[in-house]
Amino acid sequence: MEILWQKEHATVSEVTASLGAPPIAYNTVLTTLRILEQKGFVRHEEEGRAFIYIPRVRREEASRTALHQLLNRFFDDSPGALALKLVENQQLDKTELLRLKELIEKYEGEGE
């Protein structure tokens, strides 16, 4: 999806070439794009013998959907539980920790 979002449209060959090393088989990329199409994330247009794949969802929408599924499946729909797990299990740098602190203080102030 990242490649399609960047390019706005691409053939299977273009996606394969953009993936870089190690090389991924053409058929693997084709199968993945077909699955994404079945799930409604991409569509295709025919151009001669080639299919041009085009994203149907924006990155932000896909991100929101994926986050909702993650929260639902693993964190009982609790954003706080997800945030705690991220802080506990990831090495956050000082800038990220400061940003988290600022966000917490901002939202604490709104709740008062």
pLDDT digits (tens, 9 = 90+) for 85-104: 988 888 889 999 899 889 88
Residues 36 and 15 occupy one common structural domain? yes
Q: Which of 58, 66, 63, 54 is nearest to 15 (CA)?
A: 54
Same domain for 50 and 6: yes
Distance CA 108, CA 91 (A): 24
At 44 the three-state DSSP class reads strand
Do 65 and 103 belong to one domain?
A: yes
- Considering the domain architecture, whether residues 46 and 10 belong to the same structural domain is answered as yes
In this prediction the pTM is: 0.72
Domain ends where: 13, 30, 55?
55
Q: Is the dihedral of CA 93, 6, 56, 11 positive or negative?
A: negative
Domain hosting residue 39, numbered range: 2-55
Number of domains in the chain: 2
Task: Respond yes or no on whether the N-terminal peptide bond of residue 23 is cis (omega within 30° of 0).
Answer: no
CA distance 1 to 18: 12
pLDDT in tens, 2-34: 999 999 999 999 999 999 889 899 999 999 999
pLDDT digits (tens, 9 = 90+) for 59-69: 999 999 999 99
